[in-house]
């Protein structure tokens, strides 16, 4: 049976948790520096906030709106979970993170949604948009219409996957509002946001959200990263019937966004409630007039790389500081999400025609392309802001030393 080793003895762990909880209660939220918000889903009471109306690049948090728009289409009877999603050339051409499916390959909308929310695949996001909206452009119009309908007045989307571009922005407040609407309007789809991992039939992908299976009561929602936004996370947890949502934007590493999210949720569960506004009654402040924040210089730089390097151990695993995130006590539960059997397309063998005066013989396999072109493409790709699916290793907490209590 799969078991993970623990870092502390039970007694030591309880002591550390107790001290950390006291410290968390003593340190004001203002000590944290990123845009954030914490909300009670049932009452809409804002439990904490910092720059909730600062415009930010949503990165893959955009896919929460993609999912919301799709759920609305399902409820309207336009599509079903067993509807076919066909990869188009446009979808297949999206930058990573992606599934690298070929044009013409198919999967169900159910599988596509699971891949969208767990693997954060940009090609799947476009394929879903084209399936629901007919074209990506039509789907994006619907995304923005839905955003305005539910009160996301400081958000605008230009694509369904969150890749950066002019006109793509949101706020911590709007993301919290979207998350509350997802939970209130579509409880039947709650399971999509707490999947521990997907199995495509060829490969398994654990969820990039490090709270799932590792923070008590965690049940959602989504993570995202591009250079301009830093590491973002929308989290949800439920304990004793109480559901809390947190939004954290602009952290400097995978570990930092998980740590901050866990600490914010934990404090919300254990701290006495203080007077605060309702989420739906908040009004934009002076931050709303500022341009969209761009922290590329801090994130995709030598300094940022050093921070991310220091947040991993020698094996490349995340070194998490929050005492509220623990190792999984079981192997991740993987659910199937992949291509429909038989839709996989065999890639044709590449051949070249023999040329006069030399060259490859007719029928001979083409084994190499132009080196200069390949290098240019690789260099260009390495400079592009990509989502977290391309970061090294599956983000899980640091291994626990052997020989200690299980």
Question: Is 267 one of the annotated active-site residues of the chain?
Answer: no
**Per-residue confidence at 328, pLDDT binned at 50, 70, 90?**
very high
Q: Provide, rounded to the nearest whole percent, the portion of the chain with pLDDT above 70.
A: 76
More confident residue, 340 or 341: 340
Report d(CA 64, CA 221) in Å as an integer.
8
Query: Would the pLDDT of 228 be above 90?
Result: yes
Q: pLDDT per residue over 174-183, tens digit each? A: 999 999 999 9
Give the model's pLDDT for residue 124. 98
Question: Is 60 one of the annotated active-site residues of the chain?
Answer: yes
In this prediction, residues 16-22 reach a mean pLDDT of: 45
**Per-residue confidence at 62, pLDDT binned at 50, 70, 90?**
very high
As a CATH number, domain 10-351+369-390 is: 3.40.710.10
What are 220's strand-pairing partners? 236
Residue-level length of the chain: 406
More confident residue, 265 or 17: 265
**Per-residue confidence at 380, pLDDT binned at 50, 70, 90?**
very low
Is 48 in contact with 248 (CB distance < 8 Å)?
Answer: no
Give the model's pLDDT for residue 344. 64
Answer whether the bond into residue 105 is a cis peptide, omega within 30°: no
Residues 6+ apart with CB under 8 A from 287: 51, 52, 53, 54, 55
Question: Is 372 one of the annotated active-site residues of the chain?
Answer: no
Domain boundaries, the chain: 10-351+369-390
Question: Which of 55, 98, 114, 120 is flagged as catalytic?
Answer: 120
Question: Which of 63, 119, 183, 222 is flagged as catalytic?
Answer: 63
* pTM, to two decimals: 0.81
Q: pLDDT per residue over 267-301, tens digit each? A: 999 987 777 899 999 999 999 999 999 999 999 99
Query: Would the pLDDT of 392 be above 80?
Result: no
Is 337 in contact with 81 (CB distance < 8 Å)?
Answer: no
Residue (of 281, 54, 60) closest to 154 by Cα position: 54
Give the model's pLDDT for residue 41. 97
Kind and range of the H or E run holding 361: none
Q: pLDDT per residue over 121-130, tens digit each? A: 999 999 999 9
List Cα–Cα distances, 249 to 54, 123, 142, 231, 243, in angstroms.
10, 24, 25, 7, 20
């Amino acid at each position: 049976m799969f078991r993970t080793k623990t870092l502390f003895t039970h007694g030591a762990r309880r002591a550390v948790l107790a001290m950390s909880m006291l410290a968390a209660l003593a340190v004001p939220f203002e000590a944290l520096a990123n845009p954030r918000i914490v909300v009670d889903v049932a009452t809409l009471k804002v439990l904490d906030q910092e720059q909730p109306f600062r415009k930010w690049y949503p990165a893959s948090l955009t896919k929460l709106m993609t999912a919301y728009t799709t759920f609305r289409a399902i409820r309207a009877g336009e599509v079903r979970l067993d509807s076919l999603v066909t990869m188009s050339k446009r979808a297949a051409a999206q930058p990573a993170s992606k599934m690298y499916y070929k044009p013409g390959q198919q999967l169900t909308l159910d599988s596509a949604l699971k891949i969208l929310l767990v693997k954060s695949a940009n090609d799947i996001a476009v394929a879903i948009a084209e399936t629901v909206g007919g074209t990506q452009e039509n789907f994006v119009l619907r995304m923005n219409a839905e955003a305005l309908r539910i009160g996301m007045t400081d958000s605008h989307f230009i694509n369904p996957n969150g890749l950066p571009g002019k006109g793509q922005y949101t706020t911590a407040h709007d993301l919290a509002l979207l998350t509350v609407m997802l939970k209130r309007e579509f409880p039947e789809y709650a399971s999509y946001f707490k999947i521990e991992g997907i199995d495509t039939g060829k490969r398994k992908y654990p969820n990039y959200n490090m709270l799932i299976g590792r923070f008590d009561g965690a049940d959602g929602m989504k993570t995202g990263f591009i250079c301009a936004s830093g590491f973002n996370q929308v989290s949800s947890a439920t304990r004793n019937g109480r559901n809390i949502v947190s939004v954290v934007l602009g952290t400097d590493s995978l570990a930092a966004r998980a740590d901050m999210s866990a600490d914010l949720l934990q404090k919300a569960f254990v701290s006495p409630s203080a007077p605060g506004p309702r989420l739906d009654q908040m009004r934009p402040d002076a931050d709303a007039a500022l341009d969209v924040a761009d922290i590329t210089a801090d994130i995709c730089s030598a300094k940022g790389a050093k921070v991310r390097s220091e947040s991993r151990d020698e094996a490349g695993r995340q070194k998490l500081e929050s005492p509220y995130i623990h190792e999984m006590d079981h192997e991740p539960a993987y659910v199937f999400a992949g291509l429909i059997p038989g839709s996989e397309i065999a890639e044709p063998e590449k051949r070249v025609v023999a040329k006069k005066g030399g060259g490859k013989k007719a029928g001979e396999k083409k084994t190499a392309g132009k080196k200069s072109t390949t290098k240019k493409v690789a260099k260009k790709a390495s400079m592009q802001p990509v989502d977290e699916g391309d970061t090294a290793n599956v983000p899980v907490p640091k291994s626990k030393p052997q020989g200690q209590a299980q």
